[in-house]
Structure 1
Amino acid sequence: MRILLTRASVAMGDDATAPNAAERTLPDAATLTELAALVATAYVPRMGGACWVLSLGYGAPAGPPLALLAEPWERPRLLPAAQRLGPLAALADRDGELRTYCDYRWRESPEQVWRELTGRTP
């Protein structure tokens, strides 16, 4: 499955390449957990304390937040909306492409963003 990645800018210089598009591939049987791990390790910038919210969409979120990617955490955490989705391949379009968007949440701790999106403590 072809994954089309876009993300928010993290600095003015980053704006020149917005939506900071990239492509990756995953097996058709991949899970949302595997997608979130790929995005966290091979796409979004790693900066001290960076916190990203992964959603479906291209250039902007086109659905509910699915996962929270935070550097202090060992692995991404799936959000409640992710529990209601079917297989990852079923979310792809008819060409087999899955479009994702990562929103940069600066100046907010991962725990604060988690509470905001879930209503509970991580």
Structure 2
Amino acid sequence: MKVHLTRDSVAMGDDAFAPHEDTRDLPAEMSLCEAVASVVGSGYLAHIAGGEATWVATSAGTSIAVVAQQWTEPRLIGPGGLSLASLAGDDGAVRWHFRYLVQRDPVAVYEELRAASAT
């Protein structure tokens, strides 16, 4: 399954490559958490000095996971049992954008997004 990626820039020098487009081919049956972890583990997201970057993965404008440079795995916002295929658009592809939240506290970001998704 095609997963089209974009991400925010982390610094002016990084802007030259914005929006940092990439495409991955991942198994449709892969869990959402495994798929996000696969992208993160591949080095797609920029690492910052200090080691505490916070990112929010979005799909179709909806926040799906919080990723922190200092965490070993992403934290999903919604239900954990979703497969990658559940996020596919009409064309069968998945599109994710990673928003860079600088060094915001990832736990606070996660809690805010979880609370917002529950309402």
Q: TM class, shorter-chain normalised?
A: 0.7 to 0.9
1:26 aligned residue: 26
CA deviations over 1:16-51 (Å, ceiling 9, x no partner): 221110111111211111111012111111221111
State how far apart, in whole Å, the 2-side matches of 1:84 and 1:49 are. 24
Corresponding residue pairs, total: 112
Q: TM-score, normalised by structure 1?
A: 0.81
Q: TM-score, normalised by structure 2?
A: 0.82
Once the two structures are aligned, what percentage of the paired residues are identical?
A: 41
Match 1:52 to one of 38, 50, 55: 55
Give RMSD over aligned pairs: 1.9
Please state whether the residue corresponding to 2:17 is helix, strand or coil. coil
State how far apart, in whole Å, the 2-side matches of 1:84 and 1:44 are. 22
- AA of the residue aligned to 2:40: A
What are structure 1's unaligned runs of at least 5 residues?
57-61
What are structure 2's unaligned runs of at least 5 residues?
none
Q: Which runs of 4+ in 1 moved over 6 A?
A: none
